Structure 1
Amino acid sequence: MKSKSLSSNWWQVHQSVQALHQGGVIAYPTEAVWGLGCDPFNADAVAQLLAMKRRPESKGLVLVAASIAQVEPLLQGLTAEQRAQLEASWPGPYTWVIPDPHNLIPAWIRGDSQSVAVRVSAHPVVKSLCEAFGGLLVSTSANPSSHQPAKDALRVRTYFGDQLAAVVPGALGDQAQPTQIRDLISGRIFRA
């Protein structure tokens, strides 16, 4: 029974990754709430996600990764102390706003900032998606602006219905609130 569950989850991840490569928006469980994700380098997919959430591009979006190796290009200009701070908290429920002076990440992800918000997740579904996709994914709460973030797949489907290319099954992590967002350089907390 356990092996069937693992193989069906693998199949769902595989199907979801295909949808991501085709420019789709998917929903998946994260550390505290359900998230929406897409390929951050596909402008049309990001525009669709922003329209679904009714969120302005200027606010920027969070990126999620399976490992520090997946975000390594963004870490090149950091001091040893800054890297150590990231590595001490990742993988885990910490989102860091990191400078992107070489514009490695598209403006439609950064919003009005020259920095980008990034998390290396320990959540098994998020890790599986990023590993299978081969890189970073957009990770934003699954809710239209001004609505409560979805805490289950039913709420996700209620909010977005057939606008989603896939819904990856799985359980939420053990965090009570969405991850903290903190600026690596200034220490400013954007979301506690």
Structure 2
Amino acid sequence: METHIYQPTDVKSAAEDIKHGELVAFPTETVYGLGADATNETAVKKVYAAKGRPSDNPLIVHVSGIQAVEKYAEPLSDAAKQLIQTFWPGPLTIIFKLKPGSLSKAVTGGLTTAAFRNPKNQVTIDLIKAAGVPLVGPSANTSGKPSPTTAEHVYHDLNGKIAGVLDDGPTEIGVESTVLDMSTAVPAVLRPGGVTADQLRSVLGTVIDEKHSVSGNEAPKAPGMKYKHYAPNAQVYIVDHDADWRKASQWAAEQPTKVGVMTTDAVMDSAKWPANVELFSLGSDVKSASHLLFKGLRHFDDEPEVQLILTEGFNPDGLGEAYMNRLNKSAGQMHFEIKK
């Protein structure tokens, strides 16, 4: 299969691919998603095959407004409508109970709920409207690898496996959306993202900051809860935000292979780095680091001589919670401890 690179002016052509049951990757403000007609079970199953994704890992349904949610979900509460009014379009995915049989089990992972999101990207909104159907849209990468934040990342992983990539440049946020479960008695955050728990509480009052993973015998209600995610080929180690990076530099110099280092500019300037270290800037703060995290991991994935990656951690509050959630999964919870 030839994978086309579509420009924003090619939305109608990309929509035709969707209508014919093909897969087209699309841009959002978070990461690129792998789009298929959410009402076409055969097309949805192609998503799992293209990504190598486990079939019990539910997919997010991307819509262009509340009307599509109301078509498939049980009647929405006033609180749910307030959330949608406040945060959509934007980086918030909401799980609702479904009307029986309204969406295929291939979309829901066999659950009676589904996750919905209205992305904040006009090109993708135009694509959804032109296709005339909601789109499933997991991250457009090989399952388990760092999520794609550019069309080039998508092409690298899925060239020849999908019909096209709709290129709208680099994504803005760089980590996936917050996932909020509204199918339970008390709303629960299942995945932290661009909308923080405090922002949700300002609308809902009470929100549980839930566990963000499940055990092997549990069914995940949201993507990223069960399987290894965001991992490059090299082993990632988290260097805590208050660590002495000069000692990290000394440790790196003793390694027999090339070492990747992903830090903010301030940390980068605070140490003398040996010749076997390659630096990747995460910018100035947690916002820029979140935007650049997956780009950096993918950068080092293209350098097989890099066997270890030291990556700066941040305090897990606000956007830092989402950043550390992704970094911990990328590192397999491995923290690099440097004694002061």
Q: TM-score w.r.t. structure 1 length?
A: 0.88
1:155 CA drift (Å): 1.8
| Aligned counterparts of 2:54 and 2:85: Cα–Cα separation in 1 | 31
One-letter code aligned to 1:143 = N
1:141 CA drift (Å): 0.3
1:168 CA drift (Å): 0.9
| Aligned counterparts of 2:189 and 2:105: Cα–Cα separation in 1 | 22
| Aligned counterparts of 2:133 and 2:31: Cα–Cα separation in 1 | 21
Check 1:146–1:81 CA distance in 2 against 1; reply closer, same or farther (3 A cut): closer
1:162 maps to which of 156, 160, 165: 160
One-letter code aligned to 1:33 = V
1:79 CA drift (Å): 2.2
For the pair shown, the structure with the greater C-alpha radius of gyration is 2
Check 1:136–1:146 CA distance in 2 against 1; reply closer, same or farther (3 A cut): same
Check 1:43–1:185 CA distance in 2 against 1; reply closer, same or farther (3 A cut): closer
Structure with the larger helix share: 1
Question: How is 1:142-181 mapped onto 2 (pairs within 5 angstroms)?
Answer: 142-181=140-179
Check 1:152–1:113 CA distance in 2 against 1; reply closer, same or farther (3 A cut): same
Tell me the C-alpha RMSD between the 2 structures: 1.8
1:29 CA drift (Å): 1.3
Q: Which runs of 5+ in 1 are unaligned?
A: 1-7
| Aligned counterparts of 2:183 and 2:74: Cα–Cα separation in 1 | 14
1:20 aligned partner: 18
One-letter code aligned to 2:188 = R
Q: Percent identity?
A: 25
1:189 aligned partner: 189
SS of equivalent residue, structure 1 residue 95 = strand
SS of equivalent residue, structure 1 residue 57 = coil
SS of equivalent residue, structure 1 residue 163 = coil
Does the Cα contact within 8 Å between 1:12 and 1:169 map onto a contact in 2? no
1:122 aligned partner: 120
1:4 aligned partner: none
One-letter code aligned to 2:10 = Q
| Aligned counterparts of 1:48 and 1:165: Cα–Cα separation in 2 | 11
Does the Cα contact within 8 Å between 2:74 and 2:97 map onto a contact in 1? no
| Aligned counterparts of 2:29 and 2:109: Cα–Cα separation in 1 | 24
1:33 CA drift (Å): 1.4
One-letter code aligned to 2:49 = A
Q: Which runs of 5+ in 2 are unaligned?
A: 1-5, 193-340
